[in-house]
């Protein structure tokens, strides 16, 4: 049975205005307006930086130290969100992993469609290497579109011959922009975050006239051979459930060490509500454990 906490979160989300009828600019402003609802704890530092021309933030929790880095890619369907809207989660990850987080403000569609986001993520990673960070001390991760971008970035870096980071962390990843798997229908009534018409609209903004099965846009269809170990977390009630299941299956088939966690009763990127949800805190703790195990 679902907890009272997740029921409360659902009620909060159901009160949010729908995307339908709003412009990209209105939706972006709306997301930025939510930042104040997530105050940062004491002892956190946020520093703006340019990572090879890509705007970014260094986020450090009170216990962040050492020479490791989590490169974080925010969600928002490739058209919405920013390092600022992802800051709340980046701080929590920094604390759980006891590491610095470089949160990228990669370019957004429709002004900058595919492959701009992939190019920016690759540039951010290469900048970390240029700063002297060893690849085995870096993990790349993100939520939703940022989770899909994580896999696309790892694939693109492999193809370009770059040294691989220590791992990838995919939180409720969007890896199939065809939006055609079974859970897009079977979970439509249980997912309060993603509506099918909204996610297909966002896909069209990012893709333009591109085939949605293009591997670096929809990394579910990419050759995943040679990628570093992956941690994939998804809620059982998400429209994107099958994205994660399919990603895990394809990764394993390609010989990639993949860990899939399906969290019962959880919704899209439930981690954001960790202050209300024990499951959110537990999932972030698991991310911290995975990070530490990879950079140790």
74 counts as catalytic: no
Give the whole-angstrom CA distance, residue 21 versus residue 147.
27
**Angle of CA points 144, 148, 150, to nearest 5°:** 110
Task: Look at residue 13 in the predicted model and tell me its pLDDT.
Answer: 86
Please, which residues have CB within 8 angstroms of residue 160's CB and are 6 or more apart in sequence?
Answer: 122
pLDDT computed for residue 1 by the predictor: 64
pLDDT, one tens digit per residue, over 43-94 is: 999 999 999 999 999 999 988 888 999 999 999 999 999 999 999 999 999 9
- Going from N- to C-terminal start, the domains of the chain cover 4-295
- Which residues of the chain fall short of a pLDDT of 70? 1
pLDDT computed for residue 155 by the predictor = 98
Among 82, 144, 172, 183, which one carries the catalytic annotation?
Answer: 144
Q: Is 93 helix (H, G, I), strand (E, B) or coil?
A: helix
Is residue 144 part of the annotated active site? The answer reads: yes
Which residue of the set 238, 244, 271, 279 is catalytic? 238
Q: Identify which of 5, 4, 1, 34 has the alpha carbon closest to the alpha carbon of residue 17.
A: 34
Domain 4-295 has CATH 1.10.533.10: no
Identified catalytic residue from 74, 88, 268, 271: 268
57 contacts 44 by C-beta, under 8 angstroms: no
Q: Does this model's pTM top 0.75?
A: yes
Q: Which residues pair with 57 in a beta bridge?
A: 48, 103
Residues whose CB falls within 8 Å of the CB of residue 173, separated by 6 or more in sequence, listed in order: 142, 143, 144, 146, 147, 148, 150, 151, 232, 234, 240, 243, 244, 247
Q: What pLDDT is attached to residue 37?
A: 75
What separation in angstroms does the CA of 217 have from each of 156, 203, 222, 251, 291? 11, 9, 9, 16, 25
């Amino acid at each position: 049975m679902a907890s009272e906490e997740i029921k409360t979160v659902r009620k909060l989300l159901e009160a949010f205005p729908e995307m339908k009828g709003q412009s990209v600019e209105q939706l972006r402003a709306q997301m930025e307006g939510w930042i104040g609802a997530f105050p940062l704890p004491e002892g956190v530092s946020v520093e703006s930086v340019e990572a090879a021309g890509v705007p970014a933030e260094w986020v450090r929790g009170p216990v962040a130290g050492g020479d490791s880095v989590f490169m974080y890619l925010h969600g928002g369907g490739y058209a919405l969100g920013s390092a600022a809207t992802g800051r709340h989660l980046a701080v929590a990850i920094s604390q759980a992993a006891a590491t610095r987080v470089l949160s990228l403000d990669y370019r957004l569609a429709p002004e900058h469609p595919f492959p701009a986001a992939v190019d920016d993520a690759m540039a951010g990673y290469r900048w970390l290497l240029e700063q002297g960070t060893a690849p085995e001390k870096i993990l790349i991760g993100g939520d939703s579109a940022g989770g899909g971008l994580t896999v696309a970035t790892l694939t693109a870096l492999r193809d370009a011959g770059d040294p691989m980071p220590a791992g990838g962390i995919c939180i409720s990843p969007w890896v199939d922009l065809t939006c055609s798997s079974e859970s897009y229908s079977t979970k439509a009534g249980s997912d309060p975050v993603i509506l099918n018409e909204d996610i297909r609209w966002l896909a069209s903004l990012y893709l333009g006239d591109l085939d949605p099965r293009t591997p670096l846009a929809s990394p579910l269809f990419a050759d995943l051979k040679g990628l570093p170990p992956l941690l994939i977390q998804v809620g059982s009630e998400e429209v994107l459930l099958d994205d994660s299941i399919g990603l895990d299956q394809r990764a394993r088939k390609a010989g990639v060490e993949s860990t899939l966690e399906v969290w019962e009763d959880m919704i899209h990127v439930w981690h954001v509500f960790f202050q209300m949800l024990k499951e959110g805190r537990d999932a972030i703790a698991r991310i911290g454990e995975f990070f530490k195990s990879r950079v140790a």
